[in-house]
Structures are given as C-alpha cells and as structure tokens.
Structure 1
C-alpha cells in the first residue's frame, strides 16, 4: 500500500484509480489491479489482480455513531475471490467479502477501541461490531446476512476475550458459553491494529472468519503515528498521464 497525494486520484462511475492501481466494477465483479511497492521490512514489487465476485450486493449501512459521522457499509458480505499476484504461492481462490468504512471525522476522535468480525455461516455470514466510543457509550451489534444479501440484526453470544496480539493489543469476539476463541492464522500485527483469522462458536456453529482489533488510543499516540511513514511508502506527487510509474 502506498500513501499518495490528491493528484494520483481518478474516479468514474465504475472505476477508482489511485496511482498505478485501480478498482473497476464490470457489472458482475470488482476487479482490483495492483501495482505497488511494499514497505519495510521486505521492500518488493506487489503486482497482480484480485477479482471479487459478490454472491449478493446489499444496501445496508450501519451508523457507528449516533450522529452518523462514521458508517460501515457491507457491500458484499459473501463473495467468491480469486487472487492472482505475480509471486510464487500468491495465487488462490476462496471465500471473501467486500466492505468499507466512511467518516467525516478521524476515527480516534470518536472511538477508543473496537473489534470487528465477519464469520461465514451455513446461512450466509454474520458480522459483529463491538466498539467503545470516546463518550463512554458502546456499540454492540451483530448482523446476519443470508446468501441473497438480506440482512437482519441478531442476538450474538457474549463477548469473550482471547489471547492478545503480538503487540499486546487486547482481543475479544463473541462466543458460546464455555468456548474460547482462538487465532488460526495471523494476517497483520501492528502496534495499534491486529487482523487475523479466528475460530469461534456462534449459536452452536463452529465458524472461522476475519477478525480485527483496533486500539485508537495507541493510534493517536504521537509516538505511534510517525511509525506509519516508515511502514507505508509515500509519494505525494503524481503527474497527469504518469500511470506507468509507481
């Protein structure tokens, strides 16, 4: 991922382009073309294509704050994904999803901490959002999506803490009584953010899905924020017609 300036952004009805990389909706699938350079500790080319084919596209939006300053938009909670990157072993097909967050204020202004999980189920997928807001209030919601994209709010089992990340970020998710969730695959471990595949049990069904924990107190720290500049390459300028550079 490269942090780029405004000149690198181009948009149309079906395409979002940032520098040499782009996402394009072809009417049936989201095609993501990647042409980037990774950050430390391993600096290398990241090139290839990812195709996400939704099983259904939803119209759901979840306000994360009472005033709607932050919104979660699950475009396709259940999708098929095809990954074809130009590196050995980086080609696979599987089950995926596509969502996004939108906001008019920095996240750290309104949140202290949150966890999120998206778990494929026999009926479709269940997404869980638990967040502690700056004003002390809580967001606690679980939404079940069927294979046609229809959503309904459901009651989820209690929050259960499990092993902290490598950077000691506390983690929790929902689990049936007596069940201890566990990480089965590490994806990203940063000083303020953890992403991993987690196995848990929801209403008697054993599920494995993507889980994230985000510590906004840590993120807001003046000691942590500057670290992003070392992890994410930055290029502020992007001349018109310079799509071939990275």
Structure 2
C-alpha cells in the first residue's frame, strides 16, 4: 500500500495457477504448463492482468522466476519485480514497470494450513518497504508491503470451504491472521506477530468479528477488540468468490489498517464460476520468449 493509503498493488507469481479455469479444466496435472504473473493495481487508474501461459513461458533459477515477459528476482537482499503484461477489461493496456520490495527482515516461519502438510503458508517478510515505478500517471510511489508464499499439493476447494487472511502493520512490526474452515469440519485459527527483526511468535488475537459483506456478498470477518466493527477503507478486488480490501480494525488496543482477504471456496467450486473466470484470465498456451506480452 502507498504511504498515503490511496493506492495499492498486488503481485502473485503462480506455478499452477490455482484460480485459473484453464488449470482446473486441465485436471491440474501439470502445474508448470499453467504459469502466471497476476498484477493488480488499486486506486485511480487501477488495472488487472492475469494471463495463463504454458510451460514454454517458464524459466527458473535459484534467484529468479521468469514468467513470460515478466520476472521476479532476488538481488542484494531485495525482491525486484519487472512487469510487462497486458491488463484486461475495462482498461486494456500495457502494464510495464518495476516494483522493488526491501524486507526489514526474513522470518523462519512456515505454517501448515492442514495437518497433512498439503497446504503450507510461508511468510518470508511480513514487514517490508516497497517502491512502485509503473509506466502510468500517478503510479510512482513508496509504501509498505509484505512478501509471502503458499505451497500446496491439492486443490484449495477440496480441502477448505472458507478462509480469511489478513496482515496488519503494527507499531512493533506486523500481525498476520489466518482463519479457515476445513472440509473435515475442523478450523484453523492462527495469529502471529512478527517483530521488525523477523522474530515470530504466536499471539493472542481478539475474537473473529464480522463486517459488511463485499459487493458480491462474500462473507467477511477479521479479528477485532470487543466493541470494534472493522471497516473497509480501500476497495481492491471484488469477485463472486473472493474479496481483497484494505481494512481498519483494532487489535489489542491498537488501531491498525492492513490488507484483508476473504475466499469462499464453496462458490469457487461452482461450475458457473469457471466460465466467468475465463473472461478475466486469458490463456496463451503457445507463448514463447520471442513473443510479445
């Protein structure tokens, strides 16, 4: 998010694009054949790009992930993301530029989201600074952000019915919360505080508290001190099964604003959703490194 709170950016590199209908329709047997750099910008002139590409568009090394014309690389303690994509409707245009993320520290935490280890969350750098430099008016700014990853060997909708995730910057670092309802009837209720030195500890977070549903009526909840009603302060992504937004709440007597996500996997599992997603996630199976974006 920008320091003034008016703009935000989300960048996700996928090998096996979990929200791609093409990957689902393929049977999910070849994740390397469904790769994507999803870039979404929020605020004035916000755009969205999510192109599903084939295995010829993937290159990997120890310090660099290249997906089509875009890449992420780890260099001198920073994550440098070079973007060259084409955004989808309603604004179809080239998205070019660079985002540099500088962690305050790297954590050693890895959280299994399911007891059998089939889904794992790895928060590499919950407290980071970012510099955004995109080729668009108003899209050069500093801000704060985070760097994490999820790994899995099963479809999300097979193991979960609903989850929320949030990351709130605090005076002493950041608090990350993962709450989920699993298909086996169990629940995940996890809250971690990360210090600026990367030290992590399980923390007591106040109770789950519901707040206003998204435009698509996706249920939303986060943690909040008794008497506090969380509220959205910046709309981001709103889909039939997914909501991402900036939310203000109060945790252990501290008012915080951070990124909140809610994912309704019952809706995502619906056969009606996949054709809708195909309109937002184009497939370029034949892309190669002599192609354009």
The alignment's TM-score, normalised by the length of structure 2, stands at 0.82
CA contact (8 A) 1:176 1:202 kept: yes
1:245 paired with 2:292, answer: yes
TM-fit CA distance, 1:238: 2.3
Higher relative contact order (CA 8 A, sep 6+): 1
Superposed CA RMSD: 0.8
1:46 paired with 2:98, answer: no
Report the counterpart of residue 128 of structure 1 in structure 2: 177
Report the counterpart of residue 84 of structure 1 in structure 2: 133
Unmatched runs of 5 consecutive residues or more in structure 2 = 1-49
TM-fit CA distance, 1:245: 1.2
TM-fit CA distance, 1:39: 1.4
The aligned length equals: 244
Tell me, in whole angstroms, the C-alpha distance in 2 between the residues paired with 1:67 and 1:129. 17
Partner secondary structure for residue 228 of structure 1: helix
Give 1:203's match in structure 2, choosing from 218, 228, 252: 252
Partner secondary structure for residue 227 of structure 1: helix
Report the counterpart of residue 68 of structure 1 in structure 2: 117
Tell me, in whole angstroms, the C-alpha distance in 1 between the residues paired with 2:236 and 2:244. 5
Report the counterpart of residue 11 of structure 1 in structure 2: 60
1:173 paired with 2:194, answer: no
Q: Provide Cα deviations, 1:136-157, integer angstroms capped at 9, x if missing partner.
A: 1000010000000110001110
1:58 paired with 2:104, answer: no
TM-fit CA distance, 1:90: 1.1
Partner secondary structure for residue 231 of structure 1: coil
Report the counterpart of residue 231 of structure 2 in structure 1: 182
1:147 paired with 2:196, answer: yes
Unmatched runs of 5 consecutive residues or more in structure 1 = none
